[in-house]
Chains A and B, each alone.
Chain A
Amino acid sequence: MQVKNRIYDGTMYIILSGELDEHTANFVRDEIDRLVGAKKVKQVIIDLSELEFMDSTGVGVMIGRYKKFKEKGVPVFISNPSTHAERIFKITGLYDITPKIN
């Protein structure tokens, strides 16, 4: 599991690659929090285009980031989910709090 990032015009892009499940969730959580905590950003976009697998653990991770960054006034968006990740997000209504953007 890898968590990469880049900043462009006040937006932090977090790129997740590998498999997100119970085993890797803690690492992903901590990395995202560390990266976002270290910089002043206007919004966070979590890019899932390189994610090979995700189960509902991923939803918990996204909700957790939404709550955490909301305190700082930083919105979180999801981009490029696989059709599978998208189905899981839709079951949970996750897009209501962390909308999908292209």
Chain B
Amino acid sequence: MNINYMEIKFKALSVNESFARTCVASFCLQVNPTIEELNDVKTAVSEAVTNCVVHAYPYEKGEVIVNCALVDNCLTITIKDEGIGIENFEQARMPFFTSKPEGERSGVGFAVMESFMDRLELSKNGDKGLVVTMKKFFKGAERLKIIGG
């Protein structure tokens, strides 16, 4: 069993969204993903980090922690904040639900994460904030094994 992991921590600013998704995508390169798989991961990370930037910290911007673990061909990403959290997970996951309709927001962030990844789970980060856990099973890693790389 091959295990690898990494963690990044940054301030919840929109300028860090591209940093976060590019960083996670670079980490995934070791399992030889397809372009499609990489784009799935980039999009899902971008959605989760956008939520931290837009919703988690209405006052002073706090931190976002992105943790990635690769066990063979399975990537687990957790994206954590210590913000205001979400009271009703079920409502938040409904497509088109947004707590900020005035800002031209589509409310499909979680629906996109769900569609582009193989698993999506929401949980509370202790007594404050949110943890988004997503999984992706890379087919690329299977191919690599067959080749013997």
Contacts and interface: CB of A to CB of B under 8 A. Distances in A.
A87 B115 contact: yes
Interface string A1-35: 00000000000000000010111000001000000
A59 B18 contact: no
Interface residues of B, number: 27
A41 interface: no
B136 to A, nearest CB: 15
Q: Determine chain A's interface SS by DSSP, over half rule.
A: helix
Interface stretch (B41-49, B66-74, B79-87): B41-49
Interface string A58-102: 011101100000000000000000011001100110000000000
Interface string B33-62: 000100110110011001001100000000
Interface residues of A, number: 20
B112 interface: yes
Contacts of B54: 22
Contacts of B15: 23
B111 A91 contact: yes
A55 B18 contact: no
A88 B109 CA distance: 10
Contact of A92 (B18, B39, B106): B106
29 contacts: A21-B14, A22-B14, A22-B17, A22-B50, A22-B53, A22-B54, A23-B15, A23-B17, A53-B39, A55-B46, A55-B47, A55-B50, A55-B109, A56-B47, A56-B50, A56-B106, A56-B108, A56-B109, A59-B106, A60-B103, A60-B105, A63-B104, A64-B104, A87-B115, A87-B116, A88-B43, A91-B95, A91-B111, A91-B115
